[in-house]
């Protein structure tokens, strides 16, 4: 038995005051039309909220049913749909015969709207006693002049045939003859839909008779035809050749919905290269022409799913250039998916064309200022980076384009370019000279200290031969006059610095023919009015104007207090001097360069202590510069080898570790793809969990499972698996309570469905047995469950929907109230805790993105580690498993035992919220039995997310301690 009355109407209403039944009767009897409308609305809302008014039915039949107002007619359709039509013993109420007669008259009403809406209402009735007398009138509506009445008559006959076929035994024949005579597309569609579900053979015969005219049909009928072909071909593969040409024709339909469904059907029916190419081309055309971003993303997902199928990927590789047409879309998510798809499909034959397209896209972003332009540039840089590493032949063409980004104001794109240059210069020795040349050209135009710092390191590490002097010259140019303190003192005193003299000299050279009337004094200036006469001006009338002095970029960073760049510069200059000493045999040239370099370093130190910069130099930076000076003066072999060899070795090891990590991830993905072996057992649908395959057996069935599964990375079929349901059953009352209750908690993407089983364990009939629920946290109860009557030892299922709007721990609590013959009783229910883990999925991001989010997020929750684990790695695995987070720190960085571990973790919720965590744990190396200690810092944008994740970690720690 189920408590749900067949009802299709949900009307949201706030908490209503329950009025007096006598007042409602009076308003329905004596009120005018407007009063009757308002009263009827109130009655409908009260009925939907679980109230019962059996005495009102006769009043409505007598005083409201005869009224010919259209609004009242509409409201009455809703009222008769939701009102209980049977008595307590399950028999139809006598009053419903009068209602049945009224609706028979409405089915013969001259107004087509009344006829059509009445027919729609009859689709929702589940009482054959009410429908039987109306059958002749329903049949007569099939011949009505208006298509609105005819199409609703077909739907009514379809629903009645489906539920009570004995009421209309000749339904398929009736509708088949109706279909042959119809011209209206909506009527044809409804009739064909009925034949599809009721009598497939007749539907196929009709389709075979008009298969050449299918492309002229309306889109609503074409969609049903696609569904029929799909079902028939899956049930009987021999029919494929008969109908596959029809699907090919529908790929050119004028309706995007038909083209989408046809393409999806085509690739499930045939894996021939022509079919795959036609379907993929159709999808790409849809993405390019459709304006809605959501549709673009959905269709791109289908293309990604096709690409993951081994047989389809090779065919789709030739369509890379078509895929790149989607980049014309302005949405950053669409562009991100498109670039990822193109990158997976590209191969050696079309990589050159793809790079040309990406170069054009890079050029387009230069003069466009949009909020997502910076992100798009970053995407393009990363894509070109990956292309160059996968296909080294194109790297030489890509490098000049990417180096232009170094002078970009968007620091993120410039940082990505340097990461690419660093990897390319290490992996492709043949390109080093080209990369260094472009980097030296771009060096003076760089606008960020972080980018300058990385560029200086690359130049110091990889410059060789004659380019060493060139690099030092460029560094001096971007640093300005040395010693810097004296230059700043002259600037402060108003004297000309070397840079100003050089600038003036170049300006004077360009304007040699200009007027030279001014006196030798630098301060004298002549003012000339518009008529050519001289004007004098008193010095007292002028306010002093301080000009913002423009310094060279590296000098400006130092004046702003950023001496980290000074330390990096010193290390680079040291490397250059040591490398030059190996190449140059003449001691005088060696010493000249070394003293030049040491002067720059000591000048940076002097400037840091002078008080001119906004912040003084830090002790760390001072120590680093002193180490560089000492290395150059003493030249001990150990220190020299650190500067000349070990830095490059460390980079090589880091790049190898990254490559190994990428390869491991790739292997994991390949393992996930299911391959059927010849000796695999046969799978039976009733016994197996099925397979998570988007291009699988039945896309119409799997779409519903996809909606139920939310966006969790679980198998779709796990939703329907009986085993998974048992794990989610929560006992709400004790076995000895008069009413036993347990709930199956089904968490969907944005809502929670509670399926509550209620068992009457007494010998009494329980009247008005009501499940009353309340929520705590970011949960909202959608509707109040209806009261039920439970016979002795009877049971029923009551469903309740709870809306979820954010990732936060929630609690559902409540009680069961019921009436017996003597009194009203209450059974308090156990609380249901909604687990935050149902909404959190592991995700990955780059180190830069992690650091940026860590800086931006304001809510932090610090959890102290309290566990029985004695191994650091075991504790990390336990933490990842219990929080659904992903460890971003590479496996190699965590390997080994040193008594300390630090790791970054990241996850996303299905609502798009980010959760970051930093784990810092330790244990004494010499004591193997000591427990892990430390803390976990959690950061999130919302307080609820940070607190809920902290609570989850604390509870998982308690469980592990108790288990131990």
Q: Dump pLDDT digits (tens) for 895-913.
A: 777 888 999 999 988 777 8
Looking up residue 912, the CATH number of its domain turns out to be 3.30.310.10
Asked if residue 198 belongs to a domain, the reply is no
Distance CA 905, CA 916 (A): 6
Taking a C-beta distance cutoff of 8 angstroms, is the pair 574, 632 a contact?
A: yes
Asked if residue 691 belongs to a domain, the reply is no
Domain membership of residue 823 as a residue range: 725-834
Confidence at residue 547, expressed as pLDDT on a 0 to 100 scale: 45
CA 277 to chain CA centroid, Å, is: 28
Query: Structure tokens of 224?
Result: 């049903």
Query: Structure tokens of 797?
Result: 């299922």
Taking a C-beta distance cutoff of 8 angstroms, is the pair 243, 230 a contact?
A: no
pTM of the model: 0.67
Asked if residue 671 belongs to a domain, the reply is no
* Nearest partner of 790 among 860, 719, 738, 865, judged by Cα: 738
Domain-ending residue, one of 769, 802, 834: 834
User: Tokens 């490397």, residue?
Assistant: 575
Asked if residue 914 belongs to a domain, the reply is yes
Distance CA 505, CA 519 (A): 18
Distance CA 62, CA 39 (A): 15
Confidence at residue 368, expressed as pLDDT on a 0 to 100 scale: 67
Residues 733 and 844 in one domain: no
Q: In which residue ranges of the chain is pLDDT below 50? A: 1-5, 507-525, 539-547, 688-697, 709-720, 722
Taking a C-beta distance cutoff of 8 angstroms, is the pair 733, 827 a contact?
A: yes
Distance CA 605, CA 617 (A): 8
Asked if residue 163 belongs to a domain, the reply is no
Domain-ending residue, one of 666, 681, 697: 666
Secondary structure, 3-state, 249-303 = HHCCCCCHHHHHHHHHHHHHHCCCHHHHHHHHHHHHHHHHHCCCHHHHHHHHHHH
Residues 607 and 655 in one domain: yes
Q: Helices 395-403 and 432-442: crossing angle, nearest 10°?
A: 10
How many CA atoms within 13 Å lie on the side-chain side of 689? 13
Confidence at residue 200, expressed as pLDDT on a 0 to 100 scale: 83
* Nearest partner of 126 among 8, 297, 2, judged by Cα: 8
Taking a C-beta distance cutoff of 8 angstroms, is the pair 35, 27 a contact?
A: yes
Query: Structure tokens of 194?
Result: 């009925």
Cβ partners under 8 Å of residue 240, min gap 6: 233, 269, 270
CA 214 to chain CA centroid, Å, is: 38
- For residue 103, give the H/E element and its range: helix 95-107
Encode burial over 279-298: b for 16+ CB neighbours within 10 A, e otherwise: bbebbbbbbbebeeeebbee
| φ, ψ (nearest 5 deg) of residue 682 | -75, 135
Query: Structure tokens of 158?
Result: 């379809």
* Range list of H helices, 862-942: 872-883, 891-894
Residues 465 and 565 in one domain: yes
Residues 824 and 848 in one domain: no
State the DSSP string of 663-717: HHHHHHHHHHS----TTPPPP-TTTS-----TTSS-HHHHHHHHHHHTT-SS-GG
Beta bridge partners of 790: 766
Asked if residue 573 belongs to a domain, the reply is yes
Residues 827 and 843 in one domain: no
Domain-ending residue, one of 815, 834, 853: 834
Q: Specify the length of the chain in residues.
A: 964
Taking a C-beta distance cutoff of 8 angstroms, is the pair 161, 196 a contact?
A: no
Residues 844 and 829 in one domain: no
Residues 569 and 621 in one domain: yes
Distance CA 644, CA 646 (A): 7
Taking a C-beta distance cutoff of 8 angstroms, is the pair 224, 189 a contact?
A: yes
Residues 851 and 952 in one domain: yes
Residues 843 and 877 in one domain: yes
CA dihedral sign of residues 118, 120, 123, 124: negative
Residues 653 and 562 in one domain: yes
Residues 866 and 778 in one domain: no
Query: Structure tokens of 317?
Result: 């590789």
Query: Structure tokens of 162?
Result: 């489906």
Asked if residue 385 belongs to a domain, the reply is yes
Query: Structure tokens of 342?
Result: 């193109």
Residues 621 and 482 in one domain: yes
Instruction: Using only the alpha carbons of the chain, give its radius of gyration.
Output: 39
* Nearest partner of 921 among 867, 847, 850, 858, judged by Cα: 867
Secondary structure, 3-state, 613-659 = CCCCCCHHHHHHHHHHHHHHHHCCHHHHHHHHHHHHHHHHHHHHHHH
Confidence at residue 82, expressed as pLDDT on a 0 to 100 scale: 82
Taking a C-beta distance cutoff of 8 angstroms, is the pair 219, 258 a contact?
A: yes
User: For the chain, what is the domain count?
Assistant: 4
Taking a C-beta distance cutoff of 8 angstroms, is the pair 760, 766 a contact?
A: yes
Confidence at residue 740, expressed as pLDDT on a 0 to 100 scale: 93
Secondary structure, 3-state, 345-379 = HCCCCCHHHHHHHHHHHHHHCCCCCCCCHHHHHHH
- The 8-class DSSP code of residue 406 comes to G
Confidence at residue 284, expressed as pLDDT on a 0 to 100 scale: 92
Burial class (CB in 10 A: 0-12, 13-18, 19+), 192: buried
Asked if residue 196 belongs to a domain, the reply is no
* Nearest partner of 694 among 684, 709, 706, judged by Cα: 706
In this structure, are strands 933-940 and 859-864 parallel, antiparallel, or unpaired? antiparallel
Distance CA 728, CA 240 (A): 43
């Amino acid at each position: 038995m189920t408590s749900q009355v067949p009802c299709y109407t949900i009307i949201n209403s706030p908490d209503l005051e329950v009025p007096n039944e006598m007042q409602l009767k009076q308003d329905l009897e004596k009120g005018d039309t407007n009063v009757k409308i308002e009263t009827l609305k109130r009655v409908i809302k009260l009925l939907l909220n679980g109230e019962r008014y059996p005495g009102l039915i006769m009043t409505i039949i007598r005083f409201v049913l005869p009224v010919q107002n259209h609004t009242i007619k509409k409201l009455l359709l809703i009222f008769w749909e939701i009102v209980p039509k049977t008595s307590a013993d399950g028999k139809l109420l006598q009053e419903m015969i009068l209602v049945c007669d009224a609706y028979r008259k409405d089915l013969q009403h001259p107004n087509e709207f009344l006829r059509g809406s009445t027919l729609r209402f009859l689709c929702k009735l589940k009482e054959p006693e009410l429908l039987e007398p109306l059958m002749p009138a329903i049949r007569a509506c099939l011949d009505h002049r208006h298509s609105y009445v005819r199409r609703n008559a077909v739907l009514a006959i379809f629903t009645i045939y489906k539920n009570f076929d004995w009421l209309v035994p000749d339904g398929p024949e009736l509708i088949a003859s109706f279909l042959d005579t119809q011209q209206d597309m909506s009527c044809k569609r409804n009739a064909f839909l009925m034949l599809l579900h009721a009598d497939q053979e007749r539907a196929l015969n009709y389709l075979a008779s008009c298969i050449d005219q299918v492309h002229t049909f309306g889109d609503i009928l074409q969609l049903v035809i696609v569904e029929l072909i799909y079902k028939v071909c899956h049930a009987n593969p021999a029919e494929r050749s008969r109908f596959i040409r029809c699907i090919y024709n529908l790929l050119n339909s004028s309706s995007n919905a038909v083209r989408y469904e046809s393409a999806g059907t085509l690739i499930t029916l045939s894996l021939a290269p022509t079919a795959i190419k036609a379907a993929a081309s159709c999808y790409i055309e849809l993405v390019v022409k459709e304006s809605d971003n959501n549709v673009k993303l959905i269709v791109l997902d289908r293309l990604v799913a096709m690409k993951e199928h081994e047989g389809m990927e090779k065919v789709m590789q030739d369509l890379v250039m078509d895929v790149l047409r989607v980049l014309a879309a302005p949405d950053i998510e669409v562009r991100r998916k498109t670039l990822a798809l193109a990158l997976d499909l590209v191969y050696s034959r079309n990589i050159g064309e793809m790079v040309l397209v990406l170069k054009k896209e890079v050029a387009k972003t230069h003069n466009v200022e949009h909020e997502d332009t910076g992100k798009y540039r970053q995407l393009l840089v990363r894509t070109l980076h990956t292309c160059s590493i996968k296909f080294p032949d194109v790297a030489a063409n890509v490098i000049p384009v990417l180096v232009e980004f170094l002078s970009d104001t968007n620091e993120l794109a410039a940082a990505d370019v340097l990461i690419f240059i660093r990897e390319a210069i290490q992996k492709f020795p043949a390109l080093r000279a080209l990369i260094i040349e472009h980097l030296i050209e771009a060096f003076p135009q760089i606008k960020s200290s972080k980018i300058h710092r990385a560029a200086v390191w690359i130049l110091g590490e990889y410059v060789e031969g004659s380019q060493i002097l060139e690099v030092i010259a460029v560094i001096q140019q971007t640093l300005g006059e040395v010693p810097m303190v004296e230059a700043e003192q002259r600037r402060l005193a108003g004297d000309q610095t070397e840079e100003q003299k050089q600038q003036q000299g170049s300006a004077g050279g360009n304007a040699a023919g200009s007027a030279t009337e001014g006196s030798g004094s630098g301060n004298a200036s002549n003012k000339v009015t518009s008529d050519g006469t001289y004007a004098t001006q008193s010095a007292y009338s002028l306010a002093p104007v301080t000009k913002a002095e423009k310094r060279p970029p590296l000098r400006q960073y130092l004046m702003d207090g950023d001496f980290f760049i000074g330390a990096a510069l010193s290390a680079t200059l040291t490397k250059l001097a040591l490398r030059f000493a190996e190449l140059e045999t003449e001691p005088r040239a060696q010493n000249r360069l070394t003293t030049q370099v040491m002067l720059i370093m000591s000048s940076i130190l002097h400037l840091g202590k002078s008080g001119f910069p906004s912040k003084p130099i830090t002790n760390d930076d001072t120590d680093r510069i002193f180490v560089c000076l000492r290395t150059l003066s003493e030249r001990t072999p150990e220190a020299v080898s650190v500067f000349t060899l070990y830095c490059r070795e460390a980079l090589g090891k880091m790049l190898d570790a990254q490559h190994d990590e990428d390869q491991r991830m790739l292997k994991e993905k390949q393992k996930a793809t299911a391959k059927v072996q010849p000796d695999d057992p046969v799978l039976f649908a009733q016994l197996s969990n099925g397979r998570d395959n988007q291009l699988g057996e039945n896309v119409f069935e799997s779409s519903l499972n996809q909606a139920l599964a939310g966006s969790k990375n679980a198998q779709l079929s796990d939703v329907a698996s009986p085993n998974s349901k048992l794990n989610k059953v929560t006992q709400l009352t004790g076995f000895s309570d008069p009413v036993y209750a347990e709930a199956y908690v089904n968490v969907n993407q944005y809502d929670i469905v509670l399926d509550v089983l209620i068992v009457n364990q007494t010998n009494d009939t329980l009247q008005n047995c009501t499940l009353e629920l309340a929520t705590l946290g970011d949960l909202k109860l959608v509707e109040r469950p209806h009261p039920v009557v439970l016979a002795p030892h009877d049971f029923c299922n009551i469903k309740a929907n709870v809306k979820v709007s954010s990732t936060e721990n929630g609690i559902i609590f409540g009680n069961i109230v019921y009436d017996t013959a003597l009194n009203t009783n209450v059974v308090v229910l156990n609380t249901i805790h909604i687990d935050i883990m149902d909404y959190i999925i592991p995700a990955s991001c780059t180190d830069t993105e992690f650091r940026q989010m860590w800086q931006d997020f304001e809510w932090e929750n610090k959890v102290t580690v309290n566990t029985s684990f004695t191994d650091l790695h075991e504790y990390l695995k336990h933490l990842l498993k219990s929080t659904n987070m992903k460890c971003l720190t590479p496996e190699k960085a965590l390997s080994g035992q040193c008594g300390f571990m630090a790791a970054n973790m990241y996850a996303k919720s299905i609502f798009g919220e980010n959760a970051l965590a930093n784990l810092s744990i330790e244990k004494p190396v010499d004591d193997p039995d000591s427990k892990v200690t430390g803390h976990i810092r959690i950061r999130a944008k919302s307080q609820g997310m940070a607190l809920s994740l902290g609570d989850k970690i604390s509870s998982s720690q308690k469980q592990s301690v108790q288990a131990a």
